[in-house]
């Protein structure tokens, strides 16, 4: 089976392809030849994930999936959450987002956080969602060069290194994204 992965984020494509391996073929939007930006206008990961998969499904009538991910920090009322990509502004870098998050957490003792991924699969005109969570904490300054986004400041529970200090296979053995994608794979196996 071949499934379009409705994302414009090459880091997500690389992680997801490694998790899925040869179980089925994942085709990114770039490989599919679709280069438009898909809006994410909603206030929840669930709705934004559906927005991305439904745009591709409605336009091309293909089976596809997308995912929306947020870094949720309870001490900041769940921020950056659904705004994770644009936390520091409409046009901003991952580094700007990290700087803003670290400044908001200054003086706050509770640095617990979780990454949450919601996968939206549209298969034969029906939508299914799968969630994956990775709990951890936000450290005070960046460590590591691997991964992407907020990885340099996130230390997952049970570890003392950040996601950005792990190689891809180690991150994929515990990450929010891998957990959600593994549920998708299980679902497809039993479909």
- Per CB under 6 A, the list member of 68, 72, 79, 165 interacting with ligand ITT is 68
Number of residues that bind ligand ITT (CB under 6 A): 19
Residue 79, number of CB atoms within 10 A of its CB: 18
Q: Is residue 68 among the annotated active site residues? A: yes
Q: Is 56 in the site for ligand ITT (CB under 6 A)?
A: no
Name the CA dihedral angle for 163, 164, 167, 171, rounded to a multiple of 10 degrees.
Answer: 20
Contacts with 67 (C-beta within 8 Å, 6 or more apart), sequence order: 7, 12, 16, 49, 52, 117, 118, 119, 120, 177, 180, 181
**Per-position x/- string for 86-125, each x denoting binding to ligand ITT as judged by CB under 6 A, each - no binding:** --------x--------------------x----------
How far apart (Å, rounded) are the C-alpha atoms in residues 161 and 152? 9
Instruction: Considering the candidates 22, 43, 68, 167, report the single residue annotated as catalytic.
Output: 68
How far apart (Å, rounded) are the C-alpha atoms in residues 121 and 84? 22
Do residues 130 and 45 make contact, with C-beta atoms less than 8 angstroms apart?
Answer: no
- Per CB under 6 A, the list member of 84, 114, 120, 172 interacting with ligand ITT is 84
**Per-position x/- string for 150-189, each x denoting binding to ligand ITT as judged by CB under 6 A, each - no binding:** xx-----------x-----------x-x------------
How far apart (Å, rounded) are the C-alpha atoms in residues 130 and 141? 32
- Per CB under 6 A, the list member of 40, 96, 127, 131 interacting with ligand ITT is 40
Binding site for ligand ITT (CB under 6 A): 7-9, 12, 40, 68-69, 84-85, 94, 115, 147-151, 163, 175, 177
Catalytic positions, written as ranges:
68
């Amino acid at each position: 089976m071949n499934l379009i992965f409705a994302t414009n984020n090459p880091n997500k494509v690389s992680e997801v392809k490694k998790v899925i391996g040869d179980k089925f073929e994942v085709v990114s939007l770039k490989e599919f030849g679709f280069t438009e930006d898909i809006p994410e206008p909603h206030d929840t990961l669930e709705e934004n994930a559906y927005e991305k998969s439904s745009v591709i499904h409605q336009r091309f009538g293909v089976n596809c999936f997308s995912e929306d991910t947020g870094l949720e920090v309870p001490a900041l009322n769940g921020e950056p959450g659904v705004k994770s990509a644009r936390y520091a502004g409409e046009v901003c870098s991952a580094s700007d987002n990290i700087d803003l998050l670290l400044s908001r957490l200054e003086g706050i003792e509770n640095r617990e956080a979780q990454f949450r991924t919601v996968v939206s699969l549209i298969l034969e005109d029906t939508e299914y969602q799968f969630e994956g969570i990775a709990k951890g904490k936000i450290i005070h300054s960046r460590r590591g060069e691997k991964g992407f986004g907020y990885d340099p400041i996130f230390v997952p529970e049970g570890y003392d290194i950040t996601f950005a200090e792990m190689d891809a296979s180690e991150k994929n053995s515990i990450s929010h994204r891998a957990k959600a994608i593994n549920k998708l794979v299980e679902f497809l196996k039993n479909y």
